[in-house]
Structure 1
Amino acid sequence: MGANISSSVVDRDEGGGSPLKPRLGDIPESCAALVLAMLDPPEICRLARLNRSFHGASSADFVWESKLPSNYKFIVEKVLRDTTFLKLQKKELYARLCRPNPFDAVTKEIWLDKNTGGVCLSMSSKALTITGIDDRRYWTRISTEKSRYPTVAYLQQIWWFEVDGELDFRFPTGTYSLFFRLQLGKSSKRLGRRVCNSEHIHGWEIKPVRFRLTTSDGQSGESQCYLDNPGNWVLYKVGDFVVENPKALMNIKFSLTQIDCTHTKGGLCVDAAFIYPTSVAKEC
């Protein structure tokens, strides 16, 4: 048996010279593609630099179709409403969906985590329902370089603080985590340096804020914490939810409240709400 194996993988030239050993470049492109289909996207991109076989195999549609989320057609057709995406090669489609893709009048964004293909979403402060947002005595819109969006909502002072969000979406199977991104204080630049104006920060140390999440299939979660760390953007976790049926449209409602009217609170920036696959969220 050993002789048979040896003769099948090592040939000699016609003159009886040295053995001709198989090289990595001799692997058929179709076989290389089967190997790549078992790997994560970053590994595929690294192996594509090995040789021509792997480079050609790394563009195979079936390799990248397996990396796209199961709901990618829903994302393209129903969320982004741009069917031209479906004309792209699957590798190009994956790359395009890994970029931030705005939708809903540019108040929300969707993208894929480039390492896992997990679906990530963000909803700007303009996509959220904020009590008193149209009254400039309480709230203003300010621009910042630290957000995915042109502006964030800045609270100067209010008695009843409530921020609500709602989303209908079809998620791939898995566990997801929802966050609010908040900052105490108003950031600005002075002499080229980032500084935090803490003039209006007050009231958050008296009572904690409450986070709540519910889904249309009966899941719910609730937590509370005190806001702190002025001058820094912080992701405050609202809760987790599990998706078991990737074909079902799930409705998610979530909120952030501090409605104890015995005191005012202020000096808070509300940027956005984020939804990540829980495995991705651990790295954020």
Structure 2
Amino acid sequence: MGSSFSFLISQENYLAAPSPVPGLGDLPESCAASVLVYLDPPEICKLAILNKAFNGASSADSVWESKLPKNYGSVIQRVFGESDVFSKDLRKRDIYSRLCRPNSFDGGTKKVWLDKRTGKTCMSISSNGLAITGIDDRRYWSRIPTEESRFHSVAYLQQIWWLEVDGEVEFPFPAGSYSLFFRLQLGRAYKRFGQRLCNSEHVHGWDIKPVQFKLSTSDGQQATSQVYLKELGKWIYYHAGDFFVADSSKSTKVKFSMTQIDCTHTKGGLCVDSVIVYPSEFRKRLQRF
């Protein structure tokens, strides 16, 4: 077998001298880095295994500085405070990697992370971080543990006359356009014999009047939308509105709410998981309403 395999390899392959023509492996790291700044992070990681030049350039601070939000220092301060998680000599690549994880702040009621591909800022606010009318009265609301939430619990409404859920966040959002969604589900999901099922026992009242979503910002932006809640047993992202951040050097306060305060009828059977803030360009990732 060995002699047969050797026979397939021409003698020229053994005697060939190194090519005098420069290749990608001879590219200076500085030149490779100037190429990588135009690529997104996953592409940079792929090229890092191409050769020594690209491998070295893939760790350059200049490359990863271009991927971080311009105000990433303010983001770190808001989320981590005086923590020593980020040492002064930490490479920009490592800072980017850490910020791409869901990082909790405000007592664990909020999480923020960078999208790995684009470096855009995303945020999730748990139901525990929202002001829900009647949440402490178990006749109306209860907290339910679940694996279907990144916060491991949701607020479940059994029945109420006056639905009001309010929240706000103040954060140094990088400049850009953002969309805000409420993640809701009609019915209570559970598992039986490994199959996901939905208990619709308390679901009622949502087809009579629409739910109203509102959004406002500290610089005067406002948005309002109304939606009937219809689909049962599925997590839906209900679009509340959009806002734009022009100045990333200061924090933007965003207030938002979900209400259905027509007291002519009761409503119930609603799971409130969280509020999501995504770059507006990501809306295609979520269902539109």
How many angstroms does 1:191 deviate by? 1.1
CA apart distance, 1:84: 2.6
Listed as ranges, the matches of 1:181-260 within 5 Å are: 181-260=183-262
Tell me how far apart the structure 1 counterparts of residues 117 and 73 of structure 2 sit (CA, whole Å).
Answer: 20
* 2:102 partner amino acid: P
After superposition, the Cα gap between the structure-2 partners of 1:253 and 1:18, relative to the gap in structure 1 and judged at 3 Å, is closer
Q: Which runs of 5+ in 1 are unaligned?
A: 1-16
Question: Is the CA contact 1:177–1:277 (under 8 Å) kept in the aligned structure 2?
Answer: yes
**Alignment CA distance shift 1:18-1:104 (3 Å):** closer
2:206–2:267: 8 Å Cα contact kept in structure 1?
Answer: yes
SS, match of residue 30 in structure 1: helix
Counterpart position of 1:85: 86
Aligned 8 A contact 2:79 2:104 in 1: no
Q: 1:159 aligns with which of 161, 165, 173?
A: 161
Q: Select 1:175's aligned residue among 174, 177, 183.
A: 177
Question: What's the CA shift for 1:115?
Answer: 0.7
| SS of residue matched to 2:285 | coil
Single out whichever of 205-214 and 18-27 deviates more from structure 2: 18-27
Greater Cα shift, 46-55 or 158-167 = 46-55
What do the CA deviations read for 1:100-139 (whole angstroms, capped 9, x no partner)? 1111111110100001100111110010000000000000
> Do the aligned partners of residues 19 and 112 (structure 1) sit closer, same or farther apart at CA in structure 2, a change above 3 Å counting?
closer
- What is the TM-score of this pair, normalised by structure 1? 0.91
Tell me by how many angstroms 1:71 deviates. Answer: 2.0
1:19 to partner: Cα distance: 6.2
Q: Is the 8 A contact 1:86 1:93 kept in 2?
A: no
Tell me which residue corresponds to 1:49: 49
CA distance in 1, matches of 2:238, 2:19: 64
User: Displacement of 1:90 after TM fit?
Assistant: 0.8
Inter-partner Cα distance in structure 2 for 1:112 and 1:78: 14
Other structure's SS at 1:20 match: coil
Q: 1:62 is matched with which residue?
A: 62
Match of 2:73 in 1: 73
Q: CA deviation at 1:52?
A: 1.2
Instruction: Specify whether residues 21 and 107 from structure 1 end up closer, same or farther in structure 2 by C-alpha distance, changes over 3 A only.
Output: same
Q: What TM-score do you get using the length of structure 2 for normalisation?
A: 0.90
Give the 4+ runs in structure 1 shifted more than 3 A. none
| Residue identity opposite 1:281 in structure 2 | R
Contact kept, 8 Å, 1:203 with 1:263, in 2: the verdict is yes
C-alpha separation in 1, matches of 2:269 and 2:98: 38
Distance in 2 separating the partners of 1:70 and 1:109: 20
Counterparts of residues 251-270 of structure 1 (less than 5 Å):
251-270=253-272
* Structure 1 residues 87-102: aligned runs within 5 Å: 87=88, 88-102=90-104
Residues 162, 261 of structure 2: 8 Å contact kept: yes
C-alpha contact (below 8 Å) 1:181/1:274 kept by paired residues: yes
Counterpart-to-counterpart distance in 2, 1:153 and 1:19: 67
Q: Percent identity?
A: 62
User: Deviation digits for residues 57-106 of structure 1, max 9, x if unmatched?
Assistant: 10011110110112211121222223432442111111111111111111
Quick check: 2:79–2:103 contact (8 Å CA) kept in 1? no
Contact 2:187 2:232 in 1 (8 A): yes
Q: Distance in 2 between matches of 1:27 and 1:19?
A: 15
Give unpaired runs (5+ residues) of structure 2. Answer: 1-16
- My pick for the range that moved more, 179-188 or 65-74, is 65-74
- What is the CA distance between 1:43 and its match in structure 2? 1.4
CA distance, structure 1, for counterparts of residue 75 and residue 114 of structure 2: 11
Q: What displacement does 1:283 show?
A: 2.3
Out of 140-149 and 78-87, give the one that drifted further: 78-87
* 1:101 and 1:109 in contact (8 A); partners too: yes
**Alpha-carbon shift at residue 27 of structure 1 (Å):** 0.5
